[in-house]
Chains A and B, each alone.
Chain A
Amino acid sequence: MGNYLSVPILALAVALQSGVIPQFRILGGSPDLVFLVVLAWSVHAPLEAGVTWAIVGGIMQDLLSAAPTGMSAIGIVLVVFLVSRLTEQLYSVGLLLLAGMVAVGTLIQQGVLFVLLWLMGTPVDLISDFTYVILPTMVYNLLFIWPVYWFIRRIQRRYTQDRRFFT
């Protein structure tokens, strides 16, 4: 059930990201809604479900972007693996840990995108990227993770009974 839910929920996140967020952009930054939804889902989901959400979300995000399809998914898949590795060793996930995951995850996701853009010949500048993209995105992600996490947890509790594949 959880995997099927990924399509409408992530489509909604992508549509909001493309249609609504740019209208209310402050200081050049914006939250990465797809990344936040996938991260919030994977905190309490088995690894294979988190990866499915990451790939579906990354592909949808790139369909409404000039980036080649699959580019955004690479960083999110890596983050999901790290989140899964971390949460399996803990009894519960606290607010501070969640904020830490968002901060580090944003760095990884944006860092991977930076490297991929550089490899594809896009003129990139680390200072400029950090100032205008990575730092504002991280701040917005830290603010937006709370409503996103609350929304995703409600859906998870109501609709999913996933089992872990790697037991």
Chain B
Amino acid sequence: MRRWYSNRLVFLLVSLFFCIGLMLVSQAGVLAPIESLVATPLNVVAGLFTDVALSVSGGINDLATLQRLRERNADLEETLAQFQSEIVELREIASDYQRLAELLDYTTAVTNQDFVTADVIGSDTSAQRRTIIINRGARDGITEGMPVVTGQGLAGRIINVSANAARVLLITDRQSYVSGRLQSTRVEGTVQGQLSGNLRMSLISLGQTITVGDLVVTSGLGGNFPPNLTLGIVTSVYQREAELYQEADITSLINFDTLEFVLVMTSFQPVDFSIFQSETEN
């Protein structure tokens, strides 16, 4: 009986040591080529399931929203008529801006970017992480660090690349940090992902004014993302006593649960600061 328990304890310890060892080796990046190879068939199957699931959920959503869309359509037609006159004015302003920008030879980093369109073929299997897998990889020119966007703004950045797939760390992941600024007041801060799926902007100076509804965009500080990509809208502001900074909750305009397509900014290269760090150390 005693020997029986002893055998089990040894078996438990051996199993746990194996898993911990595997985890440490994987964390060091030694297994990356093997992981990429083995994950390929799993990605293919997961991609097939994603297509089917998207079709089913899309069909369900279509039925549910049909009636709502009819009512919205009537409202929107009325609103459209009002906006027509505003569009004329805005076109005039845009034209003025274009001329001034040309005069100042002003170009933002976001213009002249090349994009690769990718399908989302899987999501992270861990509830603790917020990543997606896309069907474009090194063969399509994807490299680590490239920003990933949608029509609604910044979605994340590439963190792992295999030959024909890549993993995107979404901005809603807790390990995602993006330098952001409020579009209206140019107030800057750091935007971090939350488990709730929202974002939190922190390190905002106390004297700055933040208003609910303000649009938050990337600032470009740190060189990891181009400036002026939409991050979300401020939904609440926290200003606690005895704190050196204030914080704001931000909701992204992207519905990350139903992402189907994303754009990878292939022409943007993150700035490598490592050379400055090594010079400082020396």
Contact = CB atoms under 8 A, between A and B. Distances in A.
B33 to A, nearest CB: 12
Contact of A23 (B23, B57, B124, B127): B57
Interface residues of B, number: 59
Contacts of B8: 47, 81, 166
Nearest to B159: A66
A69 B23 contact: yes
Interface of A: 11-12, 14-25, 28-30, 32, 34, 47-48, 51, 54-55, 58-74, 77-78, 81, 110, 113-114, 116-117, 120, 122-125, 128-129, 131-133, 136-137, 166
Nearest to B58: A23
Contacts of B41: 11
A70 to B, nearest CB: 3
16 contacts: A14-B125, A15-B49, A22-B257, A23-B57, A29-B127, A62-B126, A64-B124, A65-B125, A70-B19, A71-B23, A77-B19, A78-B16, A114-B128, A129-B128, A166-B4, A166-B8
Interface of B: 4, 7-8, 11-12, 15-16, 18-24, 26-27, 31, 35, 38-39, 41-43, 45-50, 52-54, 56-57, 121-129, 131, 133, 159-160, 167, 169, 173-175, 192, 194-197, 257-258
A153 B222 CA distance: 54
Contacts of B16: 74, 77-78
Contacts of A64: 39, 42-43, 46, 122, 124-125, 133
A94 to B, nearest CB: 25
A3 to B, nearest CB: 14
B39 A20 contact: no
Contact of A66 (B15, B47, B124, B196): B124
Q: Which 9 A-B pairs have the closest CB atoms?
A: A19-B49, A70-B22, A70-B23, A69-B26, A19-B50, A68-B26, A18-B122, A22-B123, A23-B53
Nearest to B29: A68
A67 B169 CA distance: 11
Given A47-B11, A74-B23, A65 B49 contact: no
B159 A19 contact: no
A128 B195 contact: yes
A62 B126 CA distance: 8
A73 B19 contact: yes
Contact of A18 (B46, B52, B57, B257): B46
B129 A24 contact: no
B20 to A, nearest CB: 7
A19 B42 CA distance: 10
Contacts of B7: 166
A68 B23 contact: yes
Contacts of A63: 35, 38-39, 42
B125 A34 contact: yes
B129 A25 contact: no
B15 to A, nearest CB: 5
Contacts of A34: 125
B254 to A, nearest CB: 14
Given A23-B53, A129-B195, A67 B15 contact: no
Given A20-B52, A73-B19, A67 B47 contact: no
Contacts of B42: 11, 14-15, 18, 60, 63-64
A119 to B, nearest CB: 10
A74 B128 CA distance: 15
A103 to B, nearest CB: 16
Nearest to B36: A63
B53 A32 contact: no
Contacts of B54: 23
A136 B2 CA distance: 40
Interface centre among B41, B47, B125, B131 (most CB of A within 10 A): B125
